[in-house]
Amino acid sequence: MLTALRSRFDVQGWLARESPQSARWDSVGLLLVGLFLLVVDVQMVGADTSLVELPGGVRPWQALLLLLGTSVLLAKRRRPVAVLGAVAVLTVADAALGGSLGMYLVLFDALFTVAVRATPRARSAVLRVLLGLVGAVLVATTAVGMRAQDVVQLTLVAVALLLPPWWWGADVRRSSELAAEQSRRADAEGARADLARAHADDVARIAALDRERAVQDERARVARDLHDVVAGHLSAVAIHAEAALAGPPAEARDRAALAAARAGSLDALAEMRSMILVLRQGADADAATAPAGLARVADLDVDVVGDVPAGLPTAVDQAAFRILQEAATNAHKHGAGRATARCTADDEALELVVENAVASDAATVDPALTSSTGLQTMRERATALGGSFTAGPDGATWRVHARLPLQRESVEP
Q: What is the pLDDT of residue 410?
A: 40
Q: Residue 286: pLDDT above 50?
A: no
117-154 confidence digits (pLDDT tens): 888 899 889 889 989 988 998 998 888 888 888 888 88
pTM above 0.75, yes or no: no
- pLDDT band for 402, please (50, 70, 90 cuts): very high
Q: Cα Rg for the chain, rounded, in angstroms?
A: 49
Sign of the CA dihedral running 222, 226, 227, 228: positive
Query: Mean pLDDT across the stretch 342-356?
Result: 90
> Smallest Cα–Cα separation from 266: which of 313, 320, 321, 318?
313
Query: Mean pLDDT across the stretch 359-367?
Result: 51
Q: Residue 113: pLDDT above 60?
A: yes
Q: What is the pLDDT of residue 56?
A: 58
163 three-class SS: helix
Q: Residue 370: pLDDT above 90?
A: no
Q: Residue 354: pLDDT above 70?
A: yes
| Between residues 74 and 274, the one the model is more confident about | 74
Q: What is the pLDDT of residue 52?
A: 57
Between the two ends of the chain, the Cα-to-Cα distance in Å is: 100
Q: Residue 18: pLDDT above 60?
A: no
- pLDDT band for 331, please (50, 70, 90 cuts): confident
- pLDDT band for 9, please (50, 70, 90 cuts): very low
73-97 confidence digits (pLDDT tens): 888 888 888 998 998 899 888 888 8
Sign of the CA dihedral running 75, 77, 82, 85: positive
d(CA 399, CA 100): 98
Cβ-defined contacts of 405-410 (< 8 Å, 24+): 405/316, 405/348, 405/349, 406/312, 406/313, 406/316, 406/345, 406/347, 406/348, 406/349, 406/350, 407/347, 407/348, 408/270, 408/273, 408/274, 408/313, 410/266
For all residues of the chain together, what is the average pLDDT?
A: 77
CATH architecture for residues 289-413:
2-Layer Sandwich (3.30)
The ranges assigned to domains in the chain are: 2-188, 289-413
**Amino acid at position 129, single letter:** V
Return the top range by mean pLDDT from 76-90, 218-232, 374-388: 76-90
Q: Residue 278: pLDDT above 90?
A: no
